[in-house]
Structure 1
Amino acid sequence: MDLDWVSYMRDKTGGWAIILSLLTLALACNGASEPVAEQLDKVVEPGIVEQGESEEVAVDRIAFMTTDGELFLVNPDGSEQLKLAGDTQVQGGPLGAVMAQPRDVSFFYSWPTWSPDGKKLAASLVEVTGGQPEISVQVIDVATGAATTVFRNEVPGLVAENAPHYLYWSPDSRTLAVLASTPQGLTLFAADTESLTEPTVIESGAPLYFHWGADGQSILLHVGDELKLSTRPFGASSGQLIDADPGFRVPALSPDGRHMAYMGTGTPSGSLLIAETGATGTARNALDIGFRAAFAWSPQGGDLAVADQQNSSAPTFDRLRVVPGDGGSIKTVAEGRIIAFYWSPNGEMLAWAGLDGGNREFVWWAATVEGGEIRELLRAQPSNDMLVTLSFFDQYAYSHSPWSPDSSRLVLAIVPNRSREGRNGSTPPGPSIFVVEANGASEPMEVGVGSLAFWSWN
């Protein structure tokens, strides 16, 4: 698509006046004799490490992005907020101390993506120099702040609204799958973040959705109207398994990698199929579903959550069910106007977002899979960036988790008091980051000001 990237950056940062003010700050920081971290109220030192080493692992930390293109880390209680990248960036100091250093203010970071081991964050970077945009993918060491370029775009383009890339780590935290816009269209690359060899093309086409296998050796893809399985070494042509039904987007691999779930053609309309991975001849009909569906296995294996809709043109799903892996009775978890759902890491709960039928408010709910009480967690408008993740939740759920590692809380980017914005000449509020208890026992807690946030996997 054609895109005026200068206008894009202006919209995201709130105007060039802000950029000029940040430039003034950066120049002032360059002349300072003490670390920038000591001059910024909320920038703290995460520890003493040797530059280039990564001894620390982020445990129970939240990464969030601001509308000014900065990346932050913060604890779930809002403490120890650390600016990781943006107009100032955390880097190793001359004696190994971690300090914040000034950065070129034309840098705009977005879509932080945790590695499974909690040591790295991948992020998209847009740099505008002389009015010309350059887009790349950076991998940032969360202990030292050191950034490495692992991918560069041939042309500027988006894969979704406000998203230069879609990023998804392999389970071993080494290979980064990068979905980017290229002259050939949407293209999926595999970037080795350790050897830094030239990224390998896995597949091109549109639409393109995929799921890493648990061993990191294979990727199940839904490209156009085909279901394909690509295995290492990537770069060879992917093996077509079967024509895919247009009623679903992301195929699902079981946590042990032995089975795959999908909707295939040549079967009765509205059939959810489960087969041995790569062997469509073993497929069985697991559930009769509507014309449009999204599904995901529990992280602990066995149970399969399915949201579906009888009306193929409806923008929401009308029910959320769980197919037990032990062959037990199918459970209906929720009914209504469901937009997205997410498994808790322990596989015991589901959280979902939907619309209140009466006043069309966005609402978040949660419930245990075993039939516990449905708890309303929050009523609030998501940020524009979070709306992107909700719109493609069945893909983003594999790479960007709103759940805390212990399955007790969620982190959400919302616009507080959105219903009152614009009244009596008031200034519309900006998005903020809130932590919400999954049991609904306490009020949501604001932990930062930003447009998108994700929890570390550990």
Structure 2
Amino acid sequence: MRPGGYLTTGAAACALLVAAACASGPTRSSTPAPADWTPETEADPVTDATSLTSPPVELVAPQEPAAGSESPAESIQDDDSPAGQGSGSRGLIAAAGPIGLRLLHPSGALVAELGLDYAVTQPTWSRDGQRLAATLVDPSTGVSRVAVADIATGNVVTTTTPSSYFFYSWSYDGSRLVALGPGQTGGTTAVILNETGARASDVTLLGQSVYVAWEPGGLRLLVHAGHQLLLVNDVDSPQDHHDYGVVGVDFLAPAWVPGTRDFLYVDSYGQAPADAGEQELLDRRSTTDPQLLRRSTDTGEITDLGPAGPYTTMAVHPSGDRAAISAAHGRPGSTGDGTAQDPSSQPGQTAGAGPDTVVPAGSVQIVDLSTAERRTVLDQIGLWLEWSPDGRNLLMATASDDQAGFGMSWHIWDGQQSYELVQFTPSVAFARNYLPFADQYDETPRLWSPDSDAITFGANTADGDVTVVARIDGAGAVASLGPSDVSFWSPLP
């Protein structure tokens, strides 16, 4: 194991040179980064006494509606479309926004509420659907908390944080939670929390950009920090890690291959040796196209799966035998030549302007992870790729041909053909803070119902930003479940 520098208790990690990214997608830098590590100084957390609003301690059951006033779900298409399109689905939908978080039955019935005096972002279900983490921000003071709700008991534990976490991901056993947030001295930090949201480790990983992926069934964590790729063997002691060296920034989160100890990533430097100097890396970058690679954590064996591209998005099938990928020369919000318009580089770090609507031509392909054979399933760039839990369908978001605004479409590939499910305008928060980082977000279950029969998402309508449910077994029938910025569906135990 190459040590890759040093880690310092209380703060740590790789200081890797990479250009800052826009709110709608990170900018990649062709300049390789120094493979060293620098400590970060932790600021003292803000105490609860600075907040004028008492933090919530439990999920609040809804009040009984007045007779005849309840309307769980409302169609957003036409008067002939049935309401309650998700009513046959199981699980709960977490809908978050500037007026708190609502837990909804797929029919639209309100189950519970949390933090109605707070702005709530990043609702993230544990992989068994038993707990929900989210960021709560007091609008009167700016004090930020991580909240973890136990769905069975309704109990909520909150912990004040030095800054707002803008991404969470639960380990597969639910004992740990990785949280990403802005660093005190710039860049992005990754911290490990326990099941209540409290710090589980006194080590903080720091990089200019950080993306993560939990090993299925384990506690190892892949970390793509700047240009560098690391495997943390023990998240409670990140000093125990393996450094895979410099791979570049033509992808966000690496992706594990279920049923194996392998993972996928994109290499921009032609499998450069660990001791390659900056000039060698620049030369390799100028003469080498990005490649999709599969790597074994046991043997180190690398399998070349063919060309990728700048801004590659990937999603591995639940069976582990194939992956969906899509690559482009620019993401919404970029100028198309890789030059950023905005300084934000991670999920949740917003910019003043909305995303640019120009999306280059491209395709979505299915790659056989054994043979590297490919099949094109959509002749458009896939901005969000997420397999259904049963593996039968692939959800793909694309930019639509609507020139009146930032119109989008959800497409479904059912294993035989692709079809458009519904056109929509995304909510501002979903378009700006979630969609550009899709392959990081779909590292955990997000939009699909646990029964694989419907999806949920944030959309902008005449009534503002709302939670939407669309069933895939109907003719694109869509129902609004009320106001929110973003919504994610719980998995089943």
Shorter chain as denominator, the TM-score bin is 0.7 to 0.9
Q: Tell me, in whole angstroms, the C-alpha distance in 1 between the residues paired with 2:312 and 2:254.
A: 11
How many residues are aligned here?
A: 370
- What are the ranges of 5 or more consecutive residues in structure 2 without an aligned counterpart? 1-19, 21-52, 55-60, 73-88, 272-287, 331-335, 339-357
- 2:254 aligned partner, one-letter code: P
Picking from 211, 223, 226, the partner of 1:224 is: 226
DSSP-derived class of the 1:83 partner: strand
Kept in 2: contact 1:184–1:204 (CA 8 A): no
- Alignment partner, residue 396 of structure 1: 441
- Alignment partner, residue 150 of structure 2: 141
State the Cα RMSD in Å: 2.9
Matched, 1:153 2:157: no
- Alignment partner, residue 63 of structure 2: 37
- Alignment partner, residue 319 of structure 1: 363
Give 1:137 deviation, angstroms: 0.6
Matched, 1:276 2:300: no
TM-score norm. by structure 2 comes to 0.69
- Alignment partner, residue 6 of structure 1: none
Give 1:257 deviation, angstroms: 4.3
Picking from 35, 55, 73, the partner of 2:103 is: 73
- Alignment partner, residue 160 of structure 1: none
Structure 1 residues 199 and 233: CA distance shift in structure 2, 3 A: closer
- Alignment partner, residue 270 of structure 2: 266
- Alignment partner, residue 43 of structure 2: none
Give 1:456 deviation, angstroms: 0.5
- 1:173 aligned partner, one-letter code: G
- Alignment partner, residue 244 of structure 1: 247
The structure carrying a bigger strand percent of its residues is: 1
Give 1:452 deviation, angstroms: 1.0
- Alignment partner, residue 31 of structure 1: none
- 1:378 aligned partner, one-letter code: V
The structure carrying a bigger helix percent of its residues is: 1
Matched, 1:166 2:167: yes
Picking from 444, 461, 468, the partner of 1:416 is: 461
- 1:72 aligned partner, one-letter code: R
- 2:390 aligned partner, one-letter code: N
Matched, 1:83 2:112: yes
For residues 21-420 of structure 1, the aligned pairs below 5 Å read 37-38=63-64, 60-68=91-99, 70-79=100-109, 81-87=110-116, 105=117, 107-127=118-138, 131-149=140-158, 151-154=159-162, 156=163, 164-185=165-186, 186-193=188-195, 196=198, 198-237=200-239, 238-264=241-267, 265-267=269-271, 268-277=288-297, 279-280=299-300, 282-309=301-328, 313=337, 316=359, 318-327=362-371, 329-357=373-401, 359=403, 361-368=407-414, 370-372=415-417, 374-387=418-431, 388-417=433-462
Give 1:397 deviation, angstroms: 0.9
Give 1:233 deviation, angstroms: 4.7
Kept in 2: contact 1:366–1:439 (CA 8 A): no
DSSP-derived class of the 1:145 partner: coil
Give 1:239 deviation, angstroms: 2.2
Kept in 2: contact 1:411–1:454 (CA 8 A): yes
Task: Name the stretch that deviates more: 169-178 or 326-335.
Answer: 326-335
TM-score norm. by structure 1 comes to 0.74
Kept in 2: contact 1:323–1:329 (CA 8 A): yes
Moved over 6 A (4+): 39-44
- Alignment partner, residue 57 of structure 2: none
- The structure showing larger relative contact order (alpha-carbon pairs under 8 Å, at least 6 residues apart) is 2
- 2:220 aligned partner, one-letter code: S
- What are the ranges of 5 or more consecutive residues in structure 1 without an aligned counterpart? 2-22, 27-34, 45-57, 88-104, 158-163, 418-428
Kept in 2: contact 1:60–1:404 (CA 8 A): yes
Cα deviation 1:334-363 (Å, max 9, x = unaligned): 112432221111222111111124636211
Kept in 2: contact 1:364–1:377 (CA 8 A): yes
